Structures are given as structure tokens and as C-alpha cells.
Amino acid sequence: VAAGFLMSGGGGNDVQWCFSQVKGAIDDDVAEADIISTVEFNHSGELLATGDKGGRVVIFQQEIENKSQQQCRSEYNVYSTFQSHEPEFDYLKSLEIEEKINKIRWLPQKNAAQFLLSTNDKTIKLWKISERDKRPEGYNLKEEDGRYRDAATITTLQVPVFRPMDLMVEASPRRVFANGHTYHINSISVNSDNETYLSADDLRINMWHLEITDRSFNIVDIKPANMEELTEVITAAEFHPHQCNTFVYSSSKGTIRLCDMRASALCDKHSKLFEEPEDPSNRSFFSEIISSISDVKFSHNGRYMMTRDYLSVKIWDLNMENRPVETYQVHEYLRSKLCSLYENDCIFDKFECCWNGNDSVVMTGSYNNFFRMLDRSQRRDVTLEASRESCKPRQVLKPRRVCAGGKRKKDEISVDSLDFNKKILHTAWHPQENIIAVATTNNLYIFQEKVN
Amino acid sequence: MEDIKPEETKVEEQKDEENKVCPEKLEEAKLKAKYPLLGNKPGGSDLLRKRLQKGPKYFDSGDYNMAKAKIKNKQLPAAQTEKTEITGDHIPTPQDLPQRKPSLVASKLAG
């Protein structure tokens, strides 16, 4: 880890996090549709998008109070909301295609409008979000309400002018990228060339051009000729932040493959294979399941990538394939609960992870609405909780501690008391500031760095 | 009461020590005790194939639409009471009938 990370606002444990806002209903009876399935800041951090199981997207916009003062407290308010995907029925397979939004990725802003890609299991859509704050008034042939005038009554001519109106934010689908995937899409990633993007399902990865919807290139295909020989699936994929020819994909077996599209059209052969050797004496029934990578994210500087498996977060140097450079335990105390976690399916939960703006701290979620901040530069970590009980404005979050066994200290919570239905799978970090968005089952929490 | 031979006890003790060192193996033993027929390869093609086809399979689109209608009726009890008022009393007009596709509910995050 190079020097130069010791900047203020690094998000490390000298940072105190405090409550800023919470969005969503308070009631415990959660409708399926309200389950949040993805959270993503745009490139400037001004916009924050969420997707849910009901196929809806809600976009929040940062409004900065007291811009003139040095310390500004920003609030995110609803900017736009729309129905992105609807449930469909696959007639050939007699299966439902869920409308759940699996991922949202923003395009870098090129003009006044904002663009994002949203995807469910089968179809990716490009949405344009634009503002309208003026409208033309003073038509000659129409009344103000739109009815056409009787031509015989028109005796004078006027020039229509634009007059200000209340801001209206419109979302319109500009492209629909359909029929590209037989299996379920788990990732989308916009290329740094800002012209193409990739979409990955369990067995294949396709590359699309943002302008072209009737064709896509298949760049990875791991489907075996005989499905009985299937041993691993693709779990996540991402383009390199700067090198438009490079992307990575992770597997259910805990490996990450880096591919270079200059090498060949079909990237079945990887350029690099990242895999940590396993200690055979530790191998158990659960080993492969908990090694399955649920998320992979490049660092902003493009030199590292982070992977999340069931119990840990690993940081890999792209120049070193045989082991990660850093490993952080997220909730090691769960290792002695794997039997029950397998029985209640929690062992298959897919946690995401994210980097802070200067790559010095990473964050990931856990159970009981806990989330973990792992400081790479200071080698410290903290567990925080997203809870309605810590919702007073600017209330500082207290570190939480889990007692793995033995005597439980005051303020600690025992492993058996953890609520495994309260999972934080999706988190996002503002690209520049210490503002984080943490999604519980149906609520979105926004926390900010404490400002004195 | 069974007679445990000394050699067997030694092996058991060794296993216990291994398990103490490796909580995963202890958990594995627990699982195998509960489900003795469980195979040894959890990451095998069966698990993966189950993952590839997620969701319930429907007989046909009619079956699917009926199931969807049931869920929607559960989520919107108001619509249901309207239905019960209409049947039997009079011939319904288009305005009386609840919409086939109830208007989409806005996300509570935007509320």
C-alpha cells in the first residue's frame, strides 16, 4: 500500500460516523416488492439510486445546505422514481422472470441528462433521466390547456416564449437490451470507453454497445457441453476502471479470472487466474460454498481488486495471482454456526462490498443489520449498526461487538442473539466524500462523517 | 451399556481434537448427523443446477397468471371487498370492476 493514503477524511477509524437520514417504511411487515436489491451512487455522488424487488428504481439527489459554510450537511431527497422492470413469463421454460432489479450502474455524465443501466435477470435497460424546468407558453393555435382553437377566432399572432415551471424530472427508457441471456444476469459493468458495457450471467458474459440493442458479443462462455460436468458458475464481473480491454469475473469456486480482450475475441482463456491455495487439512463440506465469491470490485486507482466471500473480504494486487495481499474477517464467529446457516440457506447470501473514494477503507455488510468498515491503511476495523434506534439527527454510531463464546461482556451481543433475517447485502460509498448508503431489508440509511 | 475398546476411544479423542481446531469440521459432523444421506460434494452439479433454475416452475401461463392474481389480491384487500360487493347484486359496468392490473404502488422509499 503506497504512501499518500494518510489524507484527512480517509474514512478510517478516526472518522466517526453519524446518522443522517433513513428512507422507507417503519412497519415490520415488509412487502416483498419493497426489499431493496441494489444501491449505487453516480460518478459525482450527487445522485443515489436504489432498485427493489418490485422492479422500481428510486433516485435521490444530494441537496447541500449551507454551501457557503465549510461544513456542509447534505441531504438526499427524492429526485425521480419509476418502474424499471415488470414481471414476465418465460413461455418456453414455464418460469417467471422476476422484475427484481439486480444491479444499477450509472453512465458518466456527458450532457444535462443522466443515464443509468438497470437490469433484472434477463433484460438490461438504459434509462435517461432529464429535467424540465421551462415550458413554452403562448401558442397561437392551441389554448393553454391544449385544446385547439377555432381558426376563425384567431385575429392576432404572438411568439410563444419559454416560461419557468416547477422542476419536472422525467425518466424514459432509451434502450432495451433483451434476449441476450439464457441464465440469470448477476452483473453489469460500464466500460471506461463509455461506449460498451458487459453483462454477466451464471455461465456467460456478453459485451454490448450502448447504442445497439439487437446484437451483443459473447466474450466468456463456461457452459460445459454436458451440464452434468458443471462445476462452477460466474458470480460477478467488472470492467477495469481505466483499461478498456480488461475485465475480471469471479466464480462460485473462489477464483477470479482477469481477461484481456486484445488477446482473443472469446476470452475463455484467462490472462490471469487469482486463487488462494487452500489448506487441505481444513477442507470441509462447507469449504467450497463459503469460498464462493459474491462480489468483486476494482479499486478506484485500478491497481487492486476486492472480493467478498461468505466470511471474509480479500484485497488482491493485480500483479500477484497466488494469494491476496490482505484478508479481513467479516464475521468469523459464524464459522461455528455453518450447519444452521446451511439449513436456513443463509450460507448462500450474497454480500456486496465497496471501496471508499481514495481506496483506503472498504465496507461490507453482515447480519443483525451490522456492517463492517475495514481500514486498510490503519489496519483497524469497526462494526456499526443500521438501526431505527440510532436515528436521532447527527447521532454518532457506537461500535458494536459480537461475543463469539464464553462470557458476554456488557454491550456485547452473543452470536445466538443475532437476527439472521436482518441482512445488509448492499452498501455504497460516495465517490469523494465520507457519505455512505446502507440498505437494510427495506430501509435505506445514509450516514455521514461527523462534522464538528 | 456398550463396551468401548481402548483403541476406539483413542481415535475418537484424536477426532475431537481435530474438530476443536477446526470448527468447520465440527459443523460438518453436525450436518451429517442430521442428514446422513447427504452426499460429500456440496458444490457439485446438483447444487449449481438448482441455482441455475431458480423460482417455481409453473404448468403454463394460465397457472402463472392465476398465481399472480392470488398474490395481488392478498396485497390489496381493498380491491377484494369491492369484488364481493358487486357479484350477485347487479350487472357490473366497466367502472365497477377492479382493474385487472391494479395501479402500481409507488416505492415506500419515495414516500
Please report, for chain A, the start and end positions of each structural domain, with discontinuous segments joined by +.
Answer: 36-120+123-132+165-178
Phi, psi (deg, nearest 5) at residue A205: -125, 130
Q: Per-residue confidence at A181, pLDDT binned at 50, 70, 90?
A: very high
Q: Per-residue confidence at B99, pLDDT binned at 50, 70, 90?
A: very low
pLDDT at B35 over 70: yes
A38: which chain B residues are within 8 Å (Cβ-Cβ)? none
Q: Three-class SS of residue B89?
A: coil
Do A172 and A127 form a contact (C-beta atoms < 8 A)? yes
Write down the pLDDT at residue B56: 80
Q: Per-residue confidence at B94, pLDDT binned at 50, 70, 90?
A: low
User: CB distance from A52 to chain B under 8 Å?
Assistant: yes
Minimal C-alpha gap between B3 and chain A (Å): 31
Minimal C-alpha gap between B13 and chain A (Å): 17
Write down the pLDDT at residue A91: 87
For chain A, the average pLDDT equals 92
Write down the pLDDT at residue A1: 35
Q: In chain B, where are the structural domains located?
A: 16-53
Is 0.85 exceeded by the ipTM? no
> Position A268: which residue type?
D
By C-alpha distance, which of A82, A115, A121, A137 is closest to A197?
A115
Minimal C-alpha gap between B88 and chain A (Å): 33
B45:A233 CB<8 A: no
Buried b / exposed e along A395-419 (16+ C-beta atoms within 10 A): eebeebebbbeeeeeeeebebeebe
Mean pLDDT, residues A189-204: 97
Question: What is the C-alpha separation between A78 and A292, in angstroms, rounded?
Answer: 36
By C-alpha distance, which of A249, A338, A228, A329 is closest to A294?
A249
User: CB distance from A87 to chain B under 8 Å?
Assistant: yes
Tell me the three cell numbers of residue A356: 471508499
Mean pLDDT, residues B63-76: 77
Write down the pLDDT at residue B98: 52
**Lowest mean pLDDT, pick from A5-19, A166-180, A213-227, A355-369:** A5-19
Question: What is the C-alpha separation between A249 and A351, in angstroms, rounded?
Answer: 16
Compute how many other C-beta atoms are within 10 angstroms of the C-beta atom of residue A58.
24
Q: Which residue has the higher pLDDT, A425 or A279?
A: A425
B52:A282 CB<8 A: no
User: CB distance from A337 to chain B under 8 Å?
Assistant: yes
pLDDT at B82 over 50: no
Residues 6+ apart with CB under 8 A from A219: A198, A205, A206, A207, A247, A259, A261, A265, A266, A267
Mean pLDDT, residues A427-443: 97
B23:A89 CB<8 A: no
Q: Per-residue confidence at A142, pLDDT binned at 50, 70, 90?
A: confident
Write down the pLDDT at residue A145: 82
Side-chain half-sphere exposure of A100, counting CA atoms within 13 A: 17
pLDDT at A71 over 60: no
A18 beta partners: A396, A448
Mean pLDDT, residues A422-436: 97
| Least CB–CB distance from B75: residue in A31, A91, A282 | A31
Phi, psi (deg, nearest 5) at residue A409: -80, 165
Question: What is the C-alpha separation between A15 and A9, in angstroms, rounded?
Answer: 7
